[in-house]
Amino acid sequence: MRLIEAKAQFISSWGAFGTYWGINRTMAQIHALLMISPDPLSQEDIMEELDISRGNVNMNTRELVDWGLVDRVLIPGERKEFFSAEKDIWKVATQIIKERKKRELDPMLKLLGQLENIDGDRKDPKVKQLVDTVSGIRKFGGQADKMLDKMIRADESWFLGTLLKFFK
């Protein structure tokens, strides 16, 4: 497979994978392009490479910066804005986990905590069932939260060593 074909395949595949971790296809394709680019790229470079509009590039690069996956890069003497992505996949994965946790799990746990404290007679089967269900989900979510926190703080070699123990 030639470089152009491999590059196109990677960008396309990463774009599809991105939808599984909570970002849109174009955002993931821009991220893929920036990960495999040895030098920072301008909005114009991204537009040309992916054949997408300036507005689409602007909106998605801003979101990638917000996610902590892409950095703005200043190049002396250039008026254009350039972008570069983290190349270390462990750092990329932990940043995605951090963002998903912050955007999805944390608000869910907060809501579940509020729902556990509803007014009503705890002996009423309907109230009891709701509280029991919500408490079980919150407990499970709390355990997932602790596990994700450990993974985020973990060193890559420690995590992979621990993961391999599960498969022995």
pTM above 0.85, yes or no: no
Q: Which domain holds residue 102?
A: 89-166
123 is written with which tokens? Answer: 């002996």
For residue 164, the surrounding DSSP H or E stretch is helix 156-166
- Percentage of the residues of the chain whose pLDDT score is greater than 90: 58
Considering 67, 85, 103, which residue would you say is the last residue of a domain?
Answer: 85
Residues 71 and 143 in one domain: no
Mean pLDDT confidence for 71-88: 93
Identify which has the larger pLDDT, 142 or 150.
142
- What's the mean pLDDT when you consider all of the chain? 89
Last residue of a domain, one of 85, 109, 135: 85
pLDDT digits (tens, 9 = 90+) for 89-141: 888 888 888 888 998 899 999 999 998 888 888 888 988 899 999 999 999 99
Do 138 and 112 sit in the same domain of this protein?
yes
pLDDT at 163 over 80: no
What integer is the mean pLDDT of 139-144? 92
Of 37, 59, 85, the residue that ends a domain is 85
Number of folded domains that form the chain: 2
**Average pLDDT of 53-66?**
96
- Residues 9 and 34 reside in one and the same domain: yes
CB 100 within 8 A of CB 145: no
Q: Which residue has the tokens 């992505």?
A: 85
Q: What HEC string does 55-123 produce?
A: HHHHHHHHHHHHHCCEEEECCCCCCCCEEEECCCHHHHHHHHHHHHHHHHHHHHHHHHHHHHCCCCCCC
pLDDT band at 160 (very low <50, low <70, confident <90, very high): low
Domain check: are 81 and 110 in the same one? no
Burial-class residue 40 by CB neighbours within 10 Å (0-12, 13-18, 19+).
buried
Residue 166 has what pLDDT?
65
